[in-house]
Amino acid sequence: SKAALFDAENKVKITFNDVAGLDEAKEEVEEIVQFLKNPSKYTNLGGKIPKGVLLVGPPGTGKTLLAKAVAGEAGVPFFSLSGSDFVEMFVGVGAARVRDLFKQAKEKGRAIIFIDEIDAIGRSRGKGQMPGSNDERENTLNSLLVEMDGFATDSGVIILAATNRPDVLDNALLRPGRFDRQISVDKPDIIGREQIFKVHLMPIKLAEGVKPKELAAQTPGFAGAEIANVCNEAALIAARKEKNAVEMEDFQAAIDRVIGGLEKKNKIISPDE
Ligand code: ATP
């Protein structure tokens, strides 16, 4: 069978309960859930439902999770693709993939289309691209613009896109009727981190004395993805030591390991900057 052109999930189980912290962002996307549940309620009075919403924030802060939760809460299918998949793609493939994605989403009637790392396709022309490498990227961007313009605002398809570089996006993407709304998805503060720890500690067998509040205090600068990672690592570290519950010291070891990983990653990235 033919390779999947993008991911599609018909029954999304993720809801707002899975998304910790991010209260303001959740409040803003709740409006999108309402649009998807009952589009005509909003268009009856002549209003236009937004087509595109940008989720802006650093990596690992829960943008994908939030987009999925919108689909889960509204009970609509979730289609996703990543902008980075289009880099070095053969001519014509990216544009065809975008057309196919929109066609399938529209066939469902109501849907969320999620485009991760939209800056990889939506970078403004000539900014930070290697010469000659951006032909298909531009084709892909054009087909995305054509598709976005080509469906009615009451169609029940809403496109969410994630980026941590809204400043490099081509202005064409940000025009009214395209991605004309932005929601910020920031790194959590200490209270947000505590809430995220609580979500990810849920499936873990905890020894007495493991306190989400203390873990939050020990992880300044961590995004949700790193917190999820800490919880998982801690469980693996404790298991390796034949423990039957995960202790605070295992979390501390896991935090050190995740910090070590982040430092290594920064070292690899820094020579280019
Ligand atoms: P990227 O931009 O790197 O794709 P992202 O912002 O889309 O990152 P996600 O992929 O949604 O981040 O997050 C990765 C994982 O981290 C999630 O699947 C979840 O387990 C955890 N996570 C991130 N943020 C949160 C949050 N606010 N609440 C609960 N879990 C979170």
Q: What is the pLDDT of residues 148-162, one digit of tens each?
A: 888 776 678 999 999
The answer to whether 140 is annotated as binding is no
The predicted pLDDT at position 244 comes to 96
156 lines ligand 1 (CB under 6 A): no
Q: What is the pLDDT of residue 1?
A: 31
- Written as one letter, the residue type at 132 is G
Residue 192 near ligand 1, beta carbon < 6 Å: no
Q: What is the predicted pLDDT for the residue at 232? A: 97
Mean pLDDT in consecutive groups of 10 residues from the start of the chain, 273 residues: 60 93 94 90 86 95 97 95 76 82 89 93 66 68 88 83 93 91 96 97 96 97 97 97 97 95 68 44
Alpha-carbon distance values, 17 to 117, 161, 197, 248 (Å): 24, 21, 13, 25
Q: What is the mean pLDDT of the chain?
A: 88
Q: Is 163 annotated as a binding residue?
A: no
List the structure tokens of 158.
Answer: 């809403």
The answer to whether the CB of 228 is under 6 A from ligand 1 is: yes
Q: Is 196 in the pocket of ligand 1 (CB under 6 A)?
A: yes
CA distance 205 to 164: 35
Task: Measure 144 CA to ligand 1 centroid, in angstroms.
Answer: 25
> Which atom of ligand 1 approaches the CA of 226 most closely?
16
Q: Which residues contact 161 (CB under 8 A, 6 or more apart)?
A: 52, 53, 54, 55, 114, 115, 116, 118, 122, 179
| Cα–Cα distance measured from residue 182 to residue 148, given in angstroms and rounded to the nearest whole number | 17
| 131 labelled ligand-binding | no
Q: Is 43 annotated as a binding residue?
A: no
Pocket test for ligand 1, best of 7, 12, 64, 258 (most atoms within 8 A of CB): 64
Instruction: Tell me if 94 CB under 6 Å of ligand 1.
Output: no
- For residue 195, report the distance from its CA to the centre of ligand 1, in Å: 13
pLDDT tens digits, one per residue of 81-94: 888 877 666 667 78
